[in-house]
């Protein structure tokens, strides 16, 4: 059994002179469960709790069958070798981090809805998440409008400087400053588009999980009809398309900035 393999890995890292007396197969199997649950974050208190569960069925009157906090310091220190063994085994077995609950368990901490009242509550939450996703799309459109307007203003200002600047080097320096502002804006724009896309994917993961407990799963069916986004000929995400605009403007601002710096430094003369 897989737990026995983990138990063997832990046992191999415990010095023989520190092994408890008797048949310890069940003890190390419990340590294996502890490794699966907590990985490298296991503590002395965890080790003591496991040892107490194992010892209780063998010697219910053992003096150390008390809470970890009530143990003498010398007894507490004895658990350290097992802490190290579990942590080292977790690292060696590629299971260093605590196990995480399934997504549905996070969404439904008290279990999936079973009664009519619970199903109705899930449906209300479902509607809230759908509305939240739609609101996110509206915020995303407003953000795109804002950044487009700002980039348009910067490009317009650059054009006015080119037309009205009497000093070529000073005008080029002003354009360079505006181009740097444009680069910063486009970088922020790209980052926000990506964040909005990630946030919406998270919302739809919640929506799709709730739909499993409804009579119809319309969004899951829609995603299936779109080939789950695996074929760009069938579906390509909005994020991958939206990001083209700030990327193109980013490149434009960068080229403008380089050209303006060259002009202001005298490497290029326009007239």
Nearest-angstrom CA–CA distance, 60 and 160: 88
Query: Scanning the structure block, which residue is given the tokens 């009497």?
Result: 166
Q: Do the beta carbons of residue 71 and residue 64 sit within 8 Å?
A: yes
Strand residue runs (E) in the chain: none
- The pLDDT assigned to 266 comes to 65
pLDDT tens for the chain, 271 residues long, are 889 999 999 999 999 888 988 889 999 999 999 999 999 999 999 999 999 999 998 888 889 999 999 999 998 999 999 999 999 999 999 887 877 778 888 888 888 888 888 889 999 999 999 999 999 999 999 999 999 999 999 999 988 887 877 677 788 888 999 999 999 999 999 999 999 999 999 999 999 999 999 988 999 999 899 888 888 888 888 888 899 999 999 999 999 999 888 877 766 555 5
- The pLDDT assigned to 163 comes to 80
- The pLDDT assigned to 153 comes to 94
Tell me the angle at which helices 116-164 and 244-264 cross, rounded to the nearest 10 degrees: 30
- The pLDDT assigned to 70 comes to 92
Q: In sequence order, what are the residues at sequence separation of 6 or more whose Cβ sits closer than 8 angstroms to the Cβ of residue 36? A: 3, 6, 95, 99
pTM of full prediction above 0.85: no
Nearest to 190 by CA among 236, 134, 143, 158: 143
In the numeric block, which tokens belong to residue 190?
């790209």
Burial 225-260 (b: 16+ CB within 10 A, else e): eeeeeeeeeeeeeebeebbebbeebbebbeebbebb
Grouping H, G, I as helix, E, B as strand and the rest as coil, residue 28 is helix
Q: CA angle, 231 as apex, 228 and 234 as ends, to 5°? A: 85
Domains in the chain: boundaries: 2-100, 116-264
- The pLDDT assigned to 267 comes to 64
Instruction: Map 40-94 to HEC letters.
Output: HHCCHHHHHHHHHHHHHCCCCCCCCCCCHHHCCHHHHHHCHHHHHHHHHHHHHCC
Total count of residues recorded for the chain? 271
Strand residue runs (E) in 147-224: none
DSSP 8-state code for residue 95? -
- The pLDDT assigned to 199 comes to 94
Nearest-angstrom CA–CA distance, 206 and 220: 11
């Amino acid at each position: 059994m897989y737990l026995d393999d983990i138990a063997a890995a832990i046992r191999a890292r415990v010095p023989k002179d520190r092994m408890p007396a008797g048949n310890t197969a069940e003890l190390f199997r419990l340590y294996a469960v502890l490794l699966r649950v907590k990985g490298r974050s296991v503590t002395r208190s965890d080790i003591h709790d496991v040892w107490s569960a194992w010892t209780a069925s063998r010697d219910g009157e053992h003096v150390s069958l008390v809470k970890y906090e009530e143990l003498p310091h010398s007894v507490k220190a004895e658990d350290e070798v097992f802490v190290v063994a579990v942590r080292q085994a977790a690292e060696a077995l590629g299971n260093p981090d605590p196990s995480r609950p399934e997504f549905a368990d996070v969404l439904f901490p008290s279990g999936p809805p079973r009664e009519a009242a619970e199903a109705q509550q899930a449906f209300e939450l479902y509607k809230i998440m759908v509305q939240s996703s739609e609101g996110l799309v509206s915020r995303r459109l407003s953000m795109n409008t804002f950044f487009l307007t700002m980039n348009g203003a910067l490009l317009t200002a650059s054009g006015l400087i080119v037309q009205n600047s009497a000093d070529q080097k000073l005008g080029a320096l002003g354009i360079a400053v505006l181009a740097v502002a444009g680069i910063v804006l486009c970088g922020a724009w790209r980052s926000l588009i990506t964040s909005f896309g990630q946030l919406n994917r998270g919302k739809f993961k919640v929506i799709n999980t709730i739909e499993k407990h409804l009579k119809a799963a319309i969004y899951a069916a829609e995603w299936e009809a779109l080939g789950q986004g695996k074929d760009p000929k069938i579906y390509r995400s909005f994020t991958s398309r939206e990001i083209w605009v700030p990327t193109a403007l980013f490149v434009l601002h960068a080229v403008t900035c380089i050209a303006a710096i060259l002009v202001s430094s005298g490497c290029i003369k326009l007239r």
